[in-house]
Amino acid sequence: MAFKPTHLTCPTGAEVSLSFHHAGDISSDPHNWVLLKPGTLTAFLADADKNEDDNVVVPPQARDMVLAATPMCKRHQTVTITFVAPAPGDYPFVCSVPGHGETMQGILTVTG
């Protein structure tokens, strides 16, 4: 399980429309795409891994760490979100399904 690509780039302030397609053939688990604030990856994954409901996109205790998130996406489906790119920097993105974020992660680089 992994995101492809694992590195995205956009300019700060851009309106970003992100479409996430679940192309997995091995796992029928749902997946999602969650954009995090810098420095929150480890804490977010710890909270996500404690979550017992695979339909919860963001655990309540982790909401302050999240900048944008898709809804859960079933296999062979696509979901889309729109958000405004934050300040310049590197922002981690992960899947919040318990156990998935350890391998399903990447970086959104926002340029000035």
Residue ranges per structural domain of the chain = 7-111
Residue 103 is which amino acid? Answer: T
| 111: Cβ contacts below 8 Å, ≥ 6 apart | 9, 10, 11, 12, 88
pTM score of the predicted model: 0.93
CATH number, domain 7-111? 2.60.40.420
Per residue in 65-112, pLDDT (tens digit) is: 999 999 999 999 999 999 999 999 999 999 999 999 999 999 999 999
Per-residue pLDDT at 51: 84
Per residue in 8-28, pLDDT (tens digit) is: 999 999 999 999 999 877 778
Evaluate whether 86 touches 22 at the Cβ level (below 8 Å).
Answer: no
